[in-house]
Every structure is written in C-alpha cells, then in structure tokens.
C-alpha cells in the first residue's frame, strides 16, 4: 500500500486567515497530482478541525485517528472537532476498514501529520518573535517562549504558518510516549452524542432531495433467471411508481482493495421504485417473482457434507497443500497418535444495518451515499458498471451500522447505481433482512481431518491435516486459504496439509478475523485433545508446545496477511506465552470448580495481535451452557491508542464469537441460503453475555489493530471448558448442546 | 392521519397499514428509529407507545390512535432519558451505534418502572434488543450508572 504512492505535505491558507495542512498524493494510484487534502485546519477563530478519513464501522477509527494527530499537534482533545472525509483515495490516500490494518499502517503517518502542523506553527512564531524555534514550547494549542515571556494561540499564528514550507515529516521527532496526553487514554467516540439522540449518521439515513425508494427482486439462487412476475400486482401497491427490468451481469475485474481477483455482481431482476421503502418492499413481494436455474442451483449443505467425508475417505491428494519437514516419517515413528475431525459452517455477517445504498446518476456523473468499508472500490466498481470516470463518482462516506467484512464488497452500490440510472432520480435501494442473508458474501465452511503424532513425553512432533473447503475449478477461494505461515506451522516443524476443493458458485467473502475465526477453533481444539489424551494440563501443554521464547522465521514463499508481519515480527512464541500466562493468572487457572463446571484456555495469533483467553462455563443436565466469565490477555504492541475503544472492541469480539459458537450456521438447500432472519441465525443477547475482563500487555513492538484478533481463541476455549465440565469434546461449530445432556 | 410524536401533534400522509417504522423514517424523515429485521427479532426499531417499548416495524400507524409515541429524537425530554444518554456517552457504549436508539428506549422504560434494576431485571428488559457489536457489557454498566446518577 505504501510503495505505490508518494505523498507530500502541502499547506494552504484559509480565507480569513488560517492554516490547512494535508497531503498531496501522486503515484501509481493517482497519475496526476491529486487535490490537496485538509487533515488539519486551524482557523483564525480558534477552531481546530481534524479530518477523519477512514470508514467508521464501529471500530472507533473516527475517534482514534484524530487522536493521533491531536496528540502530536499538542492540543487538548476538547479543543478539537472531527469531520468525516468523503471517499476519495486520490485526495486522502488509502481509506479501508479491513484486516485490522488501519492502525499498523497509518499510526505514524497520522502522528507525523500532527507533528508537522505543530512544527509549522512553531516556525511561524519563531519568525514573528525573532527567536530560535528550538526555544518555543507548545501545549493546549498555545505557543510559548519562556525567555521573552511571549505566548500566542495557534489561531494567531495559523495564517503565517500557512506560508511556512512544510517540514519533511520523517525528520520530526515524535513525542516521548511518557508525555502523551491523549493517546492511551479513554476517549469516548466523537459521534456518541449523535448516536444517543438519533441524529442521521448511517448510510440508511441519507435523504437527498427528490429521493425515491427502491426494492429489488432478485433470484435467491445466484445467477437464477426470472421465470415469471406479476407486474400488475406490484404496480397496484399504493406508493409504487415504476418497475424496471435490470438484466446485467458484471464481472468487475478491477484492481480492488478487498483482495479478491474479481467481483461478480448481478444486477439482475426487477427494481421497484416507490415513494417509501415499505411500499417498495411490498411491491417487490407482490411481484411474486419466480426464478429458475442459476450457477448455484446445485448447492446443498447435505451434499457437501457427504462430499467432504468422501474426500477424507479417499485420502491425501498430490501434491500436498502445505508440506514442511517430513510429517509422514515423524508420524510413523510417533509413540502415540491422536485423530479427530473438525467442522465449521458458512457464516453470514448479519450486520444490523441491512444492506442499502443511495445513488443519484445524472449527466454522466454519479453521487453515492454509502455505508462501506472500501469507498474507493465502490467508486471504481460504480464507474466501471456505468461506463463513467472514477473522478465523476462522488462518494459521501457514511457511518456503517456494522461491517464485519460484509461492506468490503460493494455489490449493493453497483445495484443502486444501475437502478438509479434507470430511474433517473435519486434512489435509496433497501434490502430486507431476508435478502441480507440470501445475498451475503459468506465465511466459507470447512472440514479438517487431523492427526497428530506424539513423542514419548506426549508432545506433538508431527501434524497432518486433510482440509476440505470451497473454491472454483479446483482452486481454493482466497477467503478459505490456510496460510502456510499460520500456527501450528513453524512451531510444529513436521507439518503436512492436504486439500480438497469443493465447488461453490455464489459469493464467499471476508468475515471478522477471516480464516483465523475458524482455524483457531480447529487448531486449539485439537491441541486440547492432545493434552487430554496424555493427561497433561492444557496450560502447561501449550506452554511446552510454544517452547522457549523465540521468533519463528517466516519463509519467503508464505503469502497472505501475515506477510506484512514477516518484515518485522515473525510469529513470536514469547509474546504468545506472555498472553497465555497473563490470561491464566487473571482467571485463576487451576481453581477448584463445582461439578459440571469447567475452565478452558486457548490462544491465537492473527492480524498481528497475540491473544489468549480463559472461559469458565457450566453445563446443565439438559445440555444448556452458561458462560460465567471470560478473561482475555492481549499483546498488540507498545501503544493502546484509545483504551476505551480498545476494551470495547475486545469485549464485543469475544461475545460475538461466543454467539457464533453457540448457534450460528448458514446452510444451503436447492442452491439458496436457508436462513431468513435472526430467528434462525441467533446473535448473542444481553442475558447470554458474560463478564469479559481484558488486559493489554504493553510490549516493545509496533502498535497493531484490534477489530479482529480477539475473536478466534474464544470458541476453542469454550469447547475446552465444556470438555472439563462434561468430558465431552465438541468438534463442530456451532455447538450441538444435545450432545451435552447428562 | 394525526399522530402524537414526542409531545407534538404530527400529520402523517401514510397508508393505514404502513408500519410506524417506515412512517417515521421515510414519510416524516425521523431517521433515528432504525430498521433491522422487520420481524421483532432485533429491537432496532424500538419506540415507546404511552411509555411502553414497542416494535415500530410491527405496529401499523392506524393502531397508534391517540397514543403518545416517543422516539430517540424525543428521549431527552425524559429525565431518565437524559441520564441514560449521558451515561451512554461517558461510558462510551456505542461501537457502530446502530442498535443504540432501540437500546435506550428499552432502558428508559426499565428505569422508569424499576429505578434500581438488578442484573436479572436488566436481562429481562434488554434481551429483546440485539447489539451486533455486542456492547452488552457497557450497556449494562451504563444502565447501572444512570440509575445512581
């Protein structure tokens, strides 16, 4: 991301006297120098405005990024107002809410921007007062020269600062963290007051003048064709104004941020335009549209289950998917072998704000109001679909009512734009909850047949996995790829995985802690079984497995998200042991517990974050599970940007993972998703949410992100707790509590 | 059709069977009340009718009659509402924030009838409102803080 772009600091004078400082970008992504961004605006009136450019999806970035700038600008947080930037990469640089990537890639960039503005204000004051810049100090948006007793507000020097040549940001000294006044504190979200008073914030709240409302009838089976529809009945619904047949199929092979080779979008169906969403949705229902065929008509969860177990029975494929060391030889020489089969389902994102998009297409230009995690992708895809220039797509970046990876895709933006073009007026496309489930980009299901070879002491010396998941033409979908650098690879040196790819013809995507969210359950669950098989303590067993604190080098050929980590911090067993020990200490590991109550522990590394957690749970005679507490230890490096937001992210991720483990499953029959609403895809509720205690270890490593890495270690720790409570091992997500009856 | 919303008479040009949710959002432009599931599973559309939390997606406007509707836009008219809003902001409850209007309307009704709620009271009153970001730990803490403020 960094290499393809050059950015230069540029200042501008504000009308009325003031400083605006931002980046001007050029490079591969913007062939001509882009417009000047305004990340920091210091008005002559004393106002200090900071632009938040990242998509806010609930991860708190609209607060945490401006905090980074404000800290180095050396102003008080209550002196700052924050404004949301529109989506425009040529102006703001990368705008992406995904992969927990924003903080690790932009922490320094944001700090250096704030430091640059401060340096320019100091330079202006030094000139005005004719004193050395090095003698000027700052604080609370004030400049001071102690020797001469002079002081000025930033506002007074802003106009003069605008004509100072911006410094090279990398030349500036950043604050000593001991001097931080904003970073590391608990700062409430900048939009909290708007949230609690119901102010319009989200994509679904957009109401441009002349807005009409659209619903879209489309095939529940991906690629299905319209067979029949009762258009007269739809037009008879009060409020319905027009119907449009939309029959396009767009394979948008464009360079996009979401890491998939191409996005196939199907604006195929009937758009119903009405005076309100309810009429539009009723009109859609009145169509009673029937569909036939479709690429995905063969899809069936039952058939896939049979195919996966058949693949296991047929045995290993050649060549191996991952092959380190010599697992077969080590397995043959093992004192003991442990075998188990693990399974996990497709998952939907189920964000609470149902998919929607508002678009106005006129005179070769498009305007979008969008809850999206990838605004630049949305602009590019809409431009391609409409045959217009990216520069002619204006995107108002709205707060997302949940993302979780769903809003990395912009199929809905393309649909809305195509419909708005047909309608000729601004249109808000609204999916209902059933469509949100039916047309999601799902977390792929998977199967793992595992075998471990143990030495005479019971330690794992060989690992074999026959992995079955989904793709096309024998190629695994990127969202299912088990990266060859993922634990236990490297730690267990003799490690082989075989792969069988089952065909999938609708849409797979990224879901919070993608790949890891399932693989963490599989690996940690199985390690727990190995410990139990030889009668060892699950904590001690894991500590022994991790071994002496060391960095496991990451091989050249390894690809995927951990590649970024390969440059600075390969898998560090010491950091993992640090969080493992901390979580155990927090929970009081080894405490005596009543009957049918147990504690389980697990760890996982993903998205550059080291996490371990202990779950305490009890199981009633009827099999129902109660979680009494969860203790989480996290190592995401040196700084916690916003302690309040960070703790909230972890607690939320953990309870989210708990909900998924206890009941979430997407299944297919006759080609279509079977789940229609939250009634058959349950999320955790208040009465199921246990206390979650969180500790952050501060270690001397770069600061990394938090939207995802707390999730993967929860389900295996719960399964382990249930095993301690009942002696029954759960190897399939979601958990079948029928198996737990006394 | 005349409705009483947040203490004011409001004329609504809507079909009688239109759910209150859509009359608020699309006809009146009061977008603080949120669409979530359309089927009473999530509680995002919660408003109060004569002080009782209801699901506005399941309530036709014709069923409201002369009842007094309170939405998130009118919550600060209530002393409990203001305490809850302040606690929500101070304890930094929201992540995405989408469900919080419904959560607050449910919490205000709880505190009005049960000013010192136990954990079991909170579970009973709040378990109909989903939070996809799972901010339950903080919702619980904020209700308790509002109760003693």
Give the model's pLDDT for residue A490: 86
Cα separation, A359 vs A273, whole angstroms: 13
- Domain layout of chain B by residue ranges: 2-74, 75-148
- Tens digits of pLDDT across chain B (149 residues): 999 999 999 999 999 999 999 999 999 999 999 999 999 999 999 999 999 999 999 999 999 999 999 999 999 999 999 999 999 999 999 999 999 999 999 999 999 999 999 999 999 999 999 999 999 999 999 999 999 99
A460-472 and A495-503 strand pairing: parallel
- Cα separation, A51 vs A62, in Å, equals 9
CATH topology of domain A203-295+349-438: Aldehyde Oxidoreductase; domain 4 (3.30.365)
Whether residue A28 has pLDDT greater than 70: no
- List Cα–Cα distances, A292 to A248, A288, A612, in angstroms: 16, 13, 48
C-alpha B49/C-alpha B69 separation (Å) is: 5
Q: Are A646 and A706 in contact (CB under 8 A)?
A: yes
B75 contacts in A (CB within 8 Å)?
196-198
pLDDT at residue number A7: 81
pLDDT in tens, A376-390: 999 999 998 899 999
Measuring CA to CA, how many Å separate A541 from each of A44, A472, A552, A594, B78? 63, 39, 19, 23, 56
One CATH from 3.40.50.720, 3.40.50.300, 3.30.365.10, 3.30.360.10 for A5-183: 3.30.365.10
pLDDT at position A565, please?
A: 40
A652, closest residue in chain B (CA to CA): B134
Confirm or reject contact between A664 and chain B (CB < 8 A).
Answer: no
pLDDT digits (tens, 9 = 90+) for A435-486: 999 999 999 999 999 999 999 999 999 999 999 999 999 999 999 998 777 8
Residue A561 touches chain B, beta carbons under 8 Å? no
CATH superfamily of domain region B75-148: [2Fe-2S]-binding domain (1.10.150.120)
What is the pLDDT at residue A49?
95
Are the beta carbons of A191 and B85 separated by less than 8 Å?
Answer: no
How close B21 gets to chain A, by Cα (Å)? 9
CA distance A309 to chain B (A): 34
Distance from CA of A688 to the nearest CA of B (A): 9
pLDDT at residue number A548: 95
Contact A433 B36 (CB under 8 A): yes
Q: Which residues contact A11 (CB under 8 A, 6 or more apart)?
A: A19, A20, A21, A120, A161, A162, A163, A164, A166
Q: Tally Cβ neighbours within 10 Å of residue A45.
A: 11
Degrees, nearest 5: CA angle A560-A558-A613: 65
Q: From the list A192, A350, A352, which residue is nearest B44 (CB)? A: A352
> What string of H, E and C letters represents the secondary structure of A80-97?
EEEEECCECHHHHCCCCC
Residues carrying CATH 3.30.365.10, chain A: 5-183, 203-295+349-438, 537-742
Closest partner residue to B132 (CB to CB) among A198, A202, A402 is A402
pLDDT higher than threshold 60 for residue A33: no
pLDDT given for residue A253 in this prediction: 62
- My answer on whether omega of the bond before A336 falls inside 30° of 0, hence cis, is no
Who among A196, A404, A430 is closest to B100 (CB)?
A: A196
Count of A–B CB contacts within 8 Å?
191
Residue A256: pLDDT band (50, 70, 90) is low
Of chain A, the percentage scoring pLDDT greater than 70 comes to 93
Chain A, 615 to 654: residues with Cβ < 8 Å from chain B are: 644-645, 648-649, 651-654
How far apart, in Å, do the first and last CA atoms of chain B sit?
40
Q: Distance between CA B48 and CA A722 in Å, rounded? A: 41
A454 phi/psi in degrees, rounded to 5: -110, 145
Chain A contact for B101 (CB, 8 A cutoff) = yes
Distance CA A276, CA B35 (A): 13
B-chain CB neighbours of A649 within 8 Å are 95
Q: Which residue of A has its CA nearest to B139?
A: A686
CB contact under 8 A, B95 and A58: yes
Give the helix/strand (H/E) hosting A654.
helix A643-663
Q: pTM score, two decimals? A: 0.95
Helix (H) or strand (E) holding A99: none
Render the burial of A547-568: b for 16+ CB within 10 Å, e for the rest.
eeeeebebeeebebbbebbbee
Predicted local distance difference test score (pLDDT) of residue A230: 98
A537-742 in CATH: which number?
3.30.365.10
The CATH architecture assigned to B2-74 reads: Roll (3.10)
Confidence of residue A351 (pLDDT cuts 50, 70, 90): very high
Q: What is the mean pLDDT of residues A699-706?
A: 90
Q: Helix, strand, coil shares of chain A as percentages rounded to 5?
A: 35, 30, 40
Q: What is the DSSP string of B13-69?
A: ---TTSBHHHIIIIIS--TTS--S-SSSSS-TTEEEETTEEEEGGG-BGGGTTTPEE
Compute, in degrees rounded to 10, the torsion defined by CA atoms A462, A468, A469, A470.
Answer: 130
CB contact under 8 A, B72 and A197: yes
- Tokens linked to A613: 């957690």
Instruction: Tell whether A656 is within 8 A of chain B (Cβ).
Output: yes
H or E element at residue A675 = none
Q: Does A198 touch chain B (CB under 8 A)?
A: yes
Tell me the backbone φ, ψ of residue A237, rounded to 5 degrees: -70, 125
Q: Which residues of A touch B127 (CB under 8 A)?
A: 685-687
ipTM of this predicted complex?
0.99
Cβ pair A575, A599 in contact under 8 A: no
- Among A723, A335, A282, A345, smallest CA distance to A517 is for A345
Q: Give contacts of A 69-88 with B, CB under 8 A.
A: none
Residue A560: the pLDDT is 36
Taking CB atoms and an 8 Å cutoff, what residues of chain B touch A196? 72, 75, 84-85, 88-89, 94, 100-101, 104
User: A208-228: per-residue pLDDT in tens?
Assistant: 999 999 999 999 999 899 999
Residue with tokens 């396009």: A248
What pLDDT digit, counting tens, does each position of A293-324 carry? Answer: 988 999 999 999 999 999 999 987 778 888 88
Cβ burial A466-504 (10 Å sphere, 16+ → b, else e)? bbbbbbeeeebbbbbbbbbbbbbbbbbbbbbbbbbbbeb
Chain B residues inside the 8 Å CB shell of A645 = 92
Question: Are A200 and B31 within 8 A, CB to CB?
Answer: yes
- Nearest residue of B to residue A433 by CA position? B37
Cβ–Cβ gap A196/B85 under 8 Å: yes
Q: Smallest CA–CA separation between B84 and chain A, in Å? A: 9
pLDDT tens-digit readout, A516-570: 999 999 999 999 999 999 999 999 999 999 999 998 876 544 433 333 343 345 7
Write out pLDDT tens, residues A678-689: 999 999 999 999
Contact between residue A38 and residue A21 where contact means Cβ atoms under 8 Å apart: yes
């Amino acid at each position: 991301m960094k290499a393809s772009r050059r950015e230069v600091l540029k200042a501008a004078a504000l009308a009325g006297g003031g400083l605006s400082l931002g980046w001007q970008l050029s490079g591969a992504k913007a062939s001509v120098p882009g417009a000047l961004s305004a990340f920091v605006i210091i008005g002559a009136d004393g106002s200090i405005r900071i632009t938040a450019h990242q998509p806010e999806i609930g991860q708190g970035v609209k607060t945490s990024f401006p905090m980074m700038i404000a800290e180095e600008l050396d102003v008080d947080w209550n002196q700052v107002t924050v404004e949301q930037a529109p989506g425009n990469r040529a102006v703001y640089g990368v705008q992406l809410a995904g992969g927990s990537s924003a903080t690790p890639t932009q922490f320094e960039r944001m700090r250096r921007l704030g430091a640059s503005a401060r340096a320019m204000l100091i330079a202006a004051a030094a000139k005005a007062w004719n004193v050395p810049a090095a003698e000027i100090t700052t604080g609370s948006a004030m400049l001071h020269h102690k020797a001469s007793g002079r002081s000025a507000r930033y506002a007074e020097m802003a106009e003069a600062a605008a004509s100072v040549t911006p410094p090279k940001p990398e030349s500036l000294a950043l604050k000593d963290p001991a001097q931080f006044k904003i970073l590391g504190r608990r700062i409430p979200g900048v939009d909290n007051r708007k949230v609690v008073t119901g102010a319009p914030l989200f994509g679904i709240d957009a109401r441009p003048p002349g807005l009409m409302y659209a619903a879209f009838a489309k095939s529940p089976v991906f690629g299905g064709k319209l067979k029949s529809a009762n258009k007269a009945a739809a037009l008879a619904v009060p409020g319905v104004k027009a119907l449009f047949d939309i029959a396009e199929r767009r394979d948008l092979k464009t360079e996009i941020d979401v890491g998939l080779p191409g996005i196939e979008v199907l604006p195929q169906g009937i758009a119903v335009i009405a005076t309100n969403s309810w009429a539009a949705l009723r009109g859609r229902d009145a169509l009673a549209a029937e569909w036939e065929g479709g690429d995905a008509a063969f899809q069936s969860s039952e058939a896939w289950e049979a195919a996966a177990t058949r693949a296991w029975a047929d045995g290993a494929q050649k060549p191996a998917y991952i092959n380190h060391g010599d697992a077969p030889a080590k397995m043959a020489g093992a004192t003991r072998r442990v075998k188990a089969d693990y399974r996990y389902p497709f998952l939907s994102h189920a964000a609470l704000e149902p998919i929607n998009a508002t678009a106005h297409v006129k005179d070769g230009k498009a305007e979008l109001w969008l809850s999206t995690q990838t605004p630049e992708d949305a602009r590019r895809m809409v431009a391609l679909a409409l045959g217009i220039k990216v520069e002619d797509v204006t995107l108002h970046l709205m707060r997302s009512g949940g993302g979780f990876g769903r809003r990395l895709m912009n199929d809905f933006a393309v649909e809305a734009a195509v419909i708005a073009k047909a309608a000729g007026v601004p249109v808000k496309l609204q999916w209902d909850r059933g469509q949100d489930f039916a047309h999601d980009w799902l977390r792929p299901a998977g199967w793992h047949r595992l075998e471990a070879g143990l030495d005479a002491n019971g330690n794992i010396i060989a690992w074999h996995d026959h992995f079955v998941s989904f793709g096309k033409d024998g190629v695994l979908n990127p969202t299912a790829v088990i990266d060859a650098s993922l634990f236990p690879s490297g730690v267990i040196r003799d490690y082989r995985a075989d792969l069988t790819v089952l065909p999938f013809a609708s849409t797979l995507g990224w879901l919070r802690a993608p790949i890891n969210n399932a693989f963490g359950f599989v690996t940690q669950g199985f390690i727990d079984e190995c410990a139990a098989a030889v009668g060892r303590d699950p904590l001690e067993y894991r500590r022994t497995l991790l071994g002496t604190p060391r960095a496991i080098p990451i091989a050249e050929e390894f690809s995927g998200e951990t590649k970024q980590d390969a440059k600075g911090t390969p898998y560090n067993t010491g950091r993992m042991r640090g969080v493992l020990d901390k979580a155990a200490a927090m929970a009081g590991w080894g405490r005596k517990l009543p009957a049918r109550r147990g504690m389980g522990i697990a760890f996982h590394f993903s998205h550059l974050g080291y996490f371990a957690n202990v779950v305490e749970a009890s199981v009633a005679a009827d099999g129902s599970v109660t979680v009494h507490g969860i203790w989480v230890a996290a190592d995401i490096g040196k700084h916690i940007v916003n302690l309040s937001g960070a703790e909230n992210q972890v607690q939320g991720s953990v309870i989210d993972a708990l909900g998924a483990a206890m009941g979430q499953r997407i299944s297919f029959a006759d080609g279509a998703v079977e789940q229609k609403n939250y009634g058959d895809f349950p999320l955790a509720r208040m009465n199921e949410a246990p206390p979650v205690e969180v500790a952050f270890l501060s270690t001397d490593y770069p600061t990394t992100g938090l939207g995802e890495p707390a999730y993967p270690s929860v389900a295996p720790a719960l399964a382990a707790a249930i095993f301690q409570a009942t002696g029954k091992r759960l190897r399939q997500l979601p958990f079948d509590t029928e198996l737990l009856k006394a | 059709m005349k409705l009483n919303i947040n203490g004011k008479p409001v004329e609504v040009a809507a079909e009688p069977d239109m759910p209150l949710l859509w009359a608020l959002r699309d006809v009146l432009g009061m977008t603080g009340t949120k669409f979530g599931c359309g089927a009473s599973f999530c509680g995002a559309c919660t408003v109060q009718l004569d002080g009782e939390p209801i699901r506005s997606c399941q309530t036709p406007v014709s069923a409201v009659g002369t009842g007094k509707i309170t939405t998130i836009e009118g919550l600060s008219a209530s002393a409990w509402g203001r305490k809850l809003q302040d606690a929500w902001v101070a304890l930094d409850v929201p992540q995405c924030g989408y469900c919080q209007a419904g959560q607050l309307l449910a919490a205000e009704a709880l505190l009005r009838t049960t000013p010192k709620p136990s954990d079991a009271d909170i579970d009973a009153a709040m378990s109909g409102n989903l939070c996809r970001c799972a901010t339950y730990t903080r919702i619980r803490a904020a209700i308790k803080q509002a109760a003693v403020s």
